[in-house]
Amino acid sequence: MTKTAKNPHARPLLLIDVDGPLNPYAAKAQRRPAGYATHRMRPTGWREAESAKPLRVWLNPDHGAELLALADAYELVWATTWKDEANDWIGPHLGLPRLPYIDWPQMHGRAPRGTFWKTQYILEYAGNRPFAWIDDDITDLDREYVEQHHPAHALLLRIDEQIGLVRADFDALAGWAGGSEG
């Protein structure tokens, strides 16, 4: 499939997952990762959960500044099951403004050809725009599917859910945005 050049008037999208990239939830529970602060939260889905304990979320405040630095090159968008609640629970701890979000038509549903359930909706949301997507559930099947079905450039960056975003990830995002027109 031929990839179209970036529209000079529209920045590529940076689609941001919370759990994994920003909240390394799979790190050892007794060892908060360096640079992260512990926050206790009760987003809607958690309040409805059986657990009386608030959800533990680890966030690194430096990630907010890193994401804001990328906002010159990207339009930042939440691509998380937190949906709009990321603006209430996550963004303020990172110093982020309210961001648009993907309102998933169906969460955790069926997906084409073994892809992650978000992938089909990511493509619908992106339309013809180039995008970078950071998530801990991206696989080679997702990359292949996007390559075959998306008309513009895309970067799918799998983030280790035990570590979260690291310097190399931000560098890759900055480098890709600078060269995504080709």
Question: Which segments of 13-139 does DSSP mark as H helices, in order?
Answer: 44-47, 61-70, 85-89, 91-94, 119-126
Q: Convert the pLDDT of each residue in 118-149 to its tens digit.
A: 999 999 999 999 999 999 999 999 999 999 99
Model pLDDT for residues 6-15, shown as the tens digit of each residue: 454 589 999 9
Does some domain include residue 41? Answer: no
Query: Dihedral angle at the C-alpha atoms of 52, 54, 55, 58, nearest 10 degrees?
Result: -150
Q: Could you tell me if residue 172 is inside a domain?
A: yes
Do the domain assignments include residue 31? no
pLDDT of 47 reads 60
- For the chain, the domain total comes to 1
Average pLDDT of the segment spanning 145-154: 96
pLDDT at 55: 87
Domain holding 126, by residue range, is 13-24+61-179
8 domain residue, yes or no:
no
Give dist(CA 123, CA 145) in Å, integer.
10
Residue 158 lies in a domain: yes
Does residue 80 fall inside a structural domain? yes
Q: How far is CA 54 from CA 27, 32, 41, 84, in A?
A: 18, 16, 5, 19
Model pLDDT, residue 2: 36
**Helix residue spans in 26-166 (DSSP H):** 44-47, 61-70, 85-89, 91-94, 119-126, 140-149
Kindly provide the b/e burial profile for residues 130-157, where b requires at least 16 CB atoms within 10 angstroms of the residue's own CB.
bbbbbbbbbeeebbebbeeebebbbbbb
How many other CB atoms are there within 10 angstroms of residue 45's CB atom? Answer: 13
Instruction: Give me the phi and psi of 140, to 5 degrees please.
Output: -60, -35
Asked if residue 85 belongs to a domain, the reply is yes
Q: How confident is the model at residue 1 (pLDDT cuts 50, 70, 90)?
A: very low
Query: Domain holding 73: CATH number?
Result: 3.40.50
| Residue 33 within a domain | no
User: Per residue in 60-118, pLDDT tens?
Assistant: 999 999 999 999 999 999 999 999 999 999 999 999 999 999 999 887 877 888 899 99
